[in-house]
Copies of this chain bind each other. A is one copy, B any other.
Amino acid sequence: MESVFGEADYLACCGSHKFAKHMVEAGPFSSPQLAISAATHIWFNQVDVTGWLEAFSAHPQIGQSPSHDHKSPTSAQWSKGEQSTAIATATDSTLQELYDWNTCYRKKFGFVFLICASGRSTPEILAELKRRYSNRPLVEFEIAAQEQMKITELRLHKLFSVAANTPTSDTQF
């Protein structure tokens, strides 16, 4: 059974409009694996660098909640879930340190620090942020794009899983 997803569904997985449009054109997909394979090709070969920056800007700063006026409520909800381990392992002082390093990171690179946070503790994320901070901007840009792809992969799985469990939703089958 194929799930027919629209641009809004794919935007919740990755906030680049070019990505979402290409996914709609490439679909529908009969499995999450096929969707991920197409998504990987589209993300690295067809989405331009401006599209990468657009996707990065759809993420809240790590350690912070998505804003209430987030463009994709699904993305905001998933983001909270992905950060649940980080939140559970955070203290006031590590959260403050994370905030300060995030500010430095954004100042140096011009975009939010992006990491596939799923299952990672706040100290782990903080250590990774500090390590990556010394990278050249282009190197860091590529790492961020790879982290975005990991997040997209997890979310595509969620998208298919939600569609399979809620046949009465807006998603067409």
Residues of A within 8 A of B (CB): 44-53, 108-111, 136-138, 141-142, 145
Contact = CB atoms under 8 A, between A and B. Distances in A.
A142 B108 CA distance: 18
Interface core residue of A51, A137, A142 (most chain B CB under 10 Å): A137
20 contacts: A44-B136, A44-B138, A45-B137, A46-B137, A47-B137, A48-B108, A48-B109, A48-B110, A48-B137, A49-B53, A49-B110, A49-B111, A49-B137, A49-B138, A49-B141, A50-B53, A50-B111, A52-B137, A138-B142, A138-B145
The prevalent SS among residues of A at the interface is helix
Interface core residue of A44, A46, A108, A138 (most chain B CB under 10 Å): A138
Contacts of A51: 110
What 9 pairs across the A-B complex have the smallest Cβ distances?
A48-B110, A50-B110, A48-B137, A49-B141, A48-B109, A45-B136, A49-B137, A138-B142, A44-B136
A48 B52 CA distance: 14
Contacts of A138: 44, 49, 141-142, 145
